[in-house]
């Protein structure tokens, strides 16, 4: 649980009038309760504006409100917009699995947190690199997943799969998903992988439409890097991270996914249930 919250960072979805208006509504609400709001758009170049104007900051932000949807949460986490500050999402999108409040109840949820504090949960992130020859040609950080998938040509790709220090197999498939527990409710489960309890320190490797292979989705310790070496020629493959960054792959590229030193901190209300959220968002049926 946290102490008194005096400063809140409000990050709203970029180029979105509804989110921008909502950010200032929330800032006014916070100011009326003696809390300084630092408002900024979810963009690396965006300035930060304090409200009320001329406010004197007595503490760094103790909470980051992310106004948008899961995509905005992912983007803000990947950009490091508020590293070290717990995130609380207010959903303006559709599913909003990572968010904790919506348009109808944000004031109630935020009021409860200001009065009673919050519990903190941590979610692992991954570093994703592409090695071409002996050179790293691409590197990024992801919260949900790294996905290797084919382009326009309907050709199978071949991957030499290494988990940790073990050469596992050569896999022929349309692609591969490497997911964190946070990302297990996204492409991972759609491709036939499991739902993974979010606090676990693991990664999941899921083949997409494997061909003549009994390679099943496998969960491995997050400390063990996942290496996928492309070994089929002219397959026109792409790497996508969190559904937000696209990088074209060449034959014989090696994609390495390993646990990052960074993590996402989430503000959770006491009693917030992962399985309750799964039911609320339609992943499992109510008993």
The C-alpha atoms of residue 228 and residue 178 are separated, in whole angstroms, by 10
Catalytic pick from 15, 70, 112, 145?
70
CA distance 163 to 161: 7
The two tokens of residue 81 are 């917009």
8 A C-beta contact, residue 159 and residue 176: yes
Strands 245-248 and 237-241 turn out to be antiparallel
* Residue 70 designated active-site: yes
SS3 for 26?
helix
Q: How many residues does this entry show for the chain?
A: 287
Q: Which residues of 32-64 are buried (b: 16+ CB within 10 A; e: fewer)?
A: eeebbbbbbbbeeeeeeebbeeeeeeeeebbbb
Which single residue is written with the structure tokens 């994703």? 128
Whole-angstrom distance, CA of residue 201 vs CA of residue 196: 10
CA 262, 264, 270, 276 dihedral sign is negative
Catalogue the active-site residues.
70
């Amino acid at each position: 649980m946290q102490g008194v919250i005096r400063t809140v960072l409000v990050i709203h979805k970029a180029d979105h009038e509804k989110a921008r208006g909502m950010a200032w509504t929330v800032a006014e609400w916070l100011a009326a309760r003696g809390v300084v709001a630092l408002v900024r758009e979810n963009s690396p170049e965006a300035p930060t504006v304090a409200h009320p104007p001329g406010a004197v900051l007595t503490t760094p932000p103790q909470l980051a409100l992310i106004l948008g949807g899961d995509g905005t949460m992912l983007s803000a986490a990947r950009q490091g917009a508020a590293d070290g500050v717990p995130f609380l999402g207010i959903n303006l999108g559709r599913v909003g699995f990572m968010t904790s409040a919506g348009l109808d109840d944000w004031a109630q949820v935020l009021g409860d947190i200001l009065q009673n504090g919050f519990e903190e949960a941590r979610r692992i992130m991954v570093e994703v690199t592409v090695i071409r020859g002996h050179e790293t040609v691409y590197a990024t950080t992801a919260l949900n997943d790294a996905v290797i998938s084919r382009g326009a040509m309907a050709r199978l790709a071949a991957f030499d799969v290494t988990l940790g220090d073990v050469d596992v197999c050569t896999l022929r498939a349309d692609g591969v998903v490497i997911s964190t527990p946070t990302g297990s409710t996204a492409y991972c489960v759609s491709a036939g992988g499991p739902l993974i309890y979010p606090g676990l320190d693991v990664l999941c490797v899921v083949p997409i439409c494997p061909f003549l292979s009994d390679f099943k989705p496998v969960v491995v310790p997050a400390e063990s890097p996942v290496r996928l070496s492309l070994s089929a020629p002219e397959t026109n493959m792409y790497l996508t991270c969190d559904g937000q960054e696209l990088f074209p792959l060449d034959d014989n590229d090696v994609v390495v996914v390993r646990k990052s030193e960074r993590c996402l901190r989430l503000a959770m209300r006491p009693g917030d249930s992962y399985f309750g959220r799964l039911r609320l968002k339609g992943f499992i049926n109510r008993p």
